[in-house]
Amino acid sequence: MEILHVSAECYPVAKAGGLGDVVGALPKYLNKQGHIAKVVIPMYRTKFLYAHEWDVVHKGYTNLGNWWFEFTVIRERHNVLGFDLYLVDINGLLDREKIYGYDDDSERFTAFQIAVLDWLSAWQHQPDVVHVHDHHTALIPFMMKYCYKYAGLSNIPTVLTIHNAQYQGWMGWDKTIYLPRWDTWRWGMLDWNNHINPLASGIKCAWKVTTVSPSYLEELKYMSNGLEALFEYEKGKCSGILNGIDVDIWDPAIDAYLDNHYSIEEAEAGKAKNKMLLCEQFGLDFDKPLISFIGRLVGEKGADLLPGAIGDSFYHIGRRMNFLVLGTGFPEVESALSALKPLGQYDYNVYIGYNESLSHLIYAGSDFLLMPSRVEPCGLNQMYSMRYGTVPMVRRTGGLKDTVIDVGDKGGYGLSYNDATVGDITHAVWRATELYHDHKKMNEVRTTMMELDFSWDRSVRQYVQLYTGLI
């Protein structure tokens, strides 16, 4: 079976978060199971682009409303990622340093989707499935069905995976001129609350819709930034498939970013060496448990609660633990976290920025990983942390609920709490410090977590079943 994935991110080429990790891994594991999965993303100005060799596979000329542009599709020559990777180059529009965050993102991603479909129309054969991810590529199912120019593609099944329904790509109706001529009777397939809503359109038009965990799909029916009724209405074609993790990259025994590798048997000593490095680098106290946070410093992740929870933990529990934060996001959260530094000179530190290599060291060297997310469609951090023997401290929501069982429950290994509040987090911090000092239990929990299987194989089988049902 041949699947074309269309996305805005793909690790290691371009990653802003978990979407990149998933699109960099799922196709590789589909290929390992004997399928042909390909990925196409925009050609940003990334290190990966300059470090690899490319072949031009297509040149096209098309338009975004009144603006006509040339585009080029290139393919990485040596299949270094384990799948065919294609980049779409649109001069001046896509070839920028950042993935998102420009005022003309609507134009950028609409033009990207048009270029992808123009290119696909020129293929000698057709893929069995076109699989799109999040709102940046969610107009594709609509365009394949209702744009006259793509009538030849209308029989190809489409799958939309929702990694995050908070962002929907809303555009004013004035932007309708960007779409290639379409059947205007179908305007309702684009509209949600008097806007063009690409994510809503994808949910309406894709043949199947998946979310990245089963619990997230349930939550979307009552909390999805305005799309609740749509999820309820379309529930028949929606299913939740939990993400996996790429165990070729995320394995403490071979991790290319680590100097001190370890397997399950030598986890305690291996983690201690990594913790020592972190403590040296960030001025922390090796003898106390290290509780870390890695992620986007935004409301969804509960990052704004961190300063309060760290302050309250020191105040109420005492200075019995270290905190380390790695992240970037809202400036006010960044400054609140930086402002805490003088308070915890030897037991708190923060690194504001994005640092892939440091993130690996933190997963390896921490004792606990804090995730007080308000919304977590799947969450990869908790799976990485468990694989590295680091106990996740998660709010019971979305994928966190589906992957972490509280240590107090039968067969449990993590720490869970119900609310994204300073009080619940502080209570979890207290539980973490108690667990840390129960050496036997801590070792038991570590072994249980490291033995859990979060590899892609299981999820890939579910995707293949879904695709097979469509063709």
Residue 126's binding partner out of ligand GLC, ligand ADP, none, with CB under 5 to 8 Å set by partner kind: none
Q: Which is nearer to ligand GLC, 7 or 390 (CB)?
A: 7
Q: How far apart are CA 197 and CA 178, in angstroms?
A: 14
The three-state secondary structure class of 189 is helix
Q: How far apart are CA 179 and CA 337, in angstroms?
A: 43
Q: Provide the mask over 148-187, with x wherever binding to ligand GLC is found by CB under 6 A and - wherever it is not.
A: ---------------xx-----------------------
Q: Is residue 197 within the footprint of ligand GLC (CB under 6 A)?
A: no
How far apart, in Å, do the first and last CA atoms of the chain sit?
A: 9
CA angle 256, 85, 3 (to 5 degrees): 115
Q: Which is nearer to ligand ADP, 274 or 381 (CB)?
A: 381
Interface with ligand ADP (CB under 6 A), residue from 4, 18, 238, 436: 18
Cβ contact 351:261 at 8 Å: no
Q: Is residue 211 within the footprint of ligand GLC (CB under 6 A)?
A: no
Q: Which residues in the 377-396 window bind ligand ADP by CB under 6 A? A: 378-381
Q: Which residues in the 420-449 window bind ligand GLC by CB under 6 A? A: none
Helix, strand, coil shares of the chain, percent, nearest 5, are 45, 20, 35
| Closest to 100 measured CA to CA, from 44, 50, 48 | 44
Interface with ligand ADP (CB under 6 A), residue from 33, 121, 126, 355: 355
To ligand ADP, the closest distance from the beta carbon of 21 in angstroms equals: 5
Residue 354's binding partner out of ligand ADP, ligand GLC, none, with CB under 5 to 8 Å set by partner kind: ligand ADP
To ligand GLC, the closest distance from the beta carbon of 379 in angstroms equals: 5
Interface with ligand ADP (CB under 6 A), residue from 90, 326, 337, 391: 326
Report the residue number whose CB is nearest to ligand GLC. 18
Assign residue 319 a region (left: φ > 0; alpha: ψ between -120 and 50; beta: otherwise): beta
Interface with ligand GLC (CB under 6 A), residue from 89, 107, 255, 376: 376
Residue 88's binding partner out of ligand ADP, ligand GLC, none, with CB under 5 to 8 Å set by partner kind: none
Cβ contact 366:392 at 8 Å: no
To ligand GLC, the closest distance from the beta carbon of 378 in angstroms equals: 3
Residue with tokens 């290929």: 31
| Cα atoms in the Cβ-side hemisphere of radius 13 Å centred on 382 | 30
CA angle 142, 13, 115 (to 5 degrees): 30
Interface with ligand GLC (CB under 6 A), residue from 14, 18, 109, 396: 18
Q: How far apart are CA 325 and CA 297, in angstroms?
A: 10
Q: How far apart are CA 165 and CA 211, in angstroms?
A: 9
The contact set with ligand ADP (CB under 6 A) reads 17-19, 21, 294-296, 326-328, 354-356, 359, 378-381
The contact set with ligand GLC (CB under 6 A) reads 17-19, 22, 163-164, 212, 243, 376-380, 399
